[in-house]
Amino acid sequence: MSVPTKSWTVRVRKATVEQFKPEDLLPDRQPGYVTSWIYVFGVATLAAFVMLIASGLYLTLEGPSWWHTSSVGHYVNSVHLWSVELFFVFMVVHLWGKFWMAAWRGRRLATWITGAVSFLASVITAFTGYLIQTNFDSQWIAGQAKDGFNSMGIGAFFNTLNTGQAILLHVALLPLVLGVIVAWHVILVRRHGVVPPIDEGSKK
């Protein structure tokens, strides 16, 4: 019995896996201009993202009391913090570098948009992370943010003083959303290739 062409699984397959060749997803060669330092920051951002996810999972399994009372907890918490700091440094340099390179050239607009959206999602995720530090710093941040959110009407949906709500957003929802956007961005990069320098593109 043949599968009907209107099946949603067929449509999803044609829109995803059939659009990519193995050599596009896992290339073994790159253009010579990729050796430029500006192309390093995208990979560095992904490396920092992997580290912050791994350290975040460890912190999630052990719980808040562990990272406040255990020396190992302090270390893992510090790894998570500095992974986030490096993640944002690398991402901002990557974002600005690609902006000045006009990285949306060559049918790469969706690649640029997903990268910009991932930055915005990262800011929101990091904000909830600061709210769940369970220390005086997080209390001060939550108190200051509460009035601003209430003035915009957001306080009816998100209470910055509700630590449980912030933990669920930071651990269960926002990393998943961010991970999907980042994965989509990387797939688009593999699909269309890294953007060439403007001078290089004008020679073709």
pLDDT digits (tens, 9 = 90+) for 63-102: 888 888 899 999 999 999 999 999 999 999 999 999 999 9
Comparison of pLDDT for 17 and 167, the residue scoring more: 167
In a domain, 9, yes or no: no
Look at residues 93, 86, 116 and name the one whose alpha carbon lies nearest to residue 41. Answer: 93
Report the number of distinct structural domains present in the chain: 1
The single-letter DSSP state of residue 56 is H
Q: What is the CATH number of the domain that holds 59?
A: 1.20.810.10
- Predicted local confidence at residue 193, as pLDDT: 84
- For 55-87, letters b (16+ CB in 10 Å) and e give bbebbeeeebebbeeeeebeebbebbeebbebb
In a domain, 143, yes or no: yes
- Predicted local confidence at residue 183, as pLDDT: 93
Cα separation, 118 vs 189, in Å, equals: 14
In a domain, 158, yes or no: yes
Cα separation, 144 vs 133, in Å, equals: 15
- Predicted local confidence at residue 1, as pLDDT: 52
129: Cβ contacts below 8 Å, ≥ 6 apart: 84, 170
Cα separation, 108 vs 98, in Å, equals: 11
Token pair, residue 130, equals 């600061």
Cα separation, 127 vs 64, in Å, equals: 17
Place of tokens 């991402």: 91
In a domain, 18, yes or no: no
Alpha-carbon dihedral angle through residues 61, 62, 63, 64, given to the nearest 10 degrees:
-140
pLDDT digits (tens, 9 = 90+) for 1-42: 555 567 878 777 777 677 767 766 677 777 788 888 888 999
In a domain, 4, yes or no: no
In a domain, 26, yes or no: no
- For the entire predicted model, the pTM comes to 0.83
Amino acid (one-letter) located at 164: G
- Predicted local confidence at residue 203, as pLDDT: 47
- Predicted local confidence at residue 63, as pLDDT: 84
Domain containing 127 equals: 36-195
In a domain, 3, yes or no: no
Comparison of pLDDT for 155 and 173, the residue scoring more: 173
Cα separation, 76 vs 69, in Å, equals: 12
Average pLDDT of the chain to the nearest whole number: 87
Helix, strand, or coil (residue 183):
helix
In a domain, 8, yes or no: no
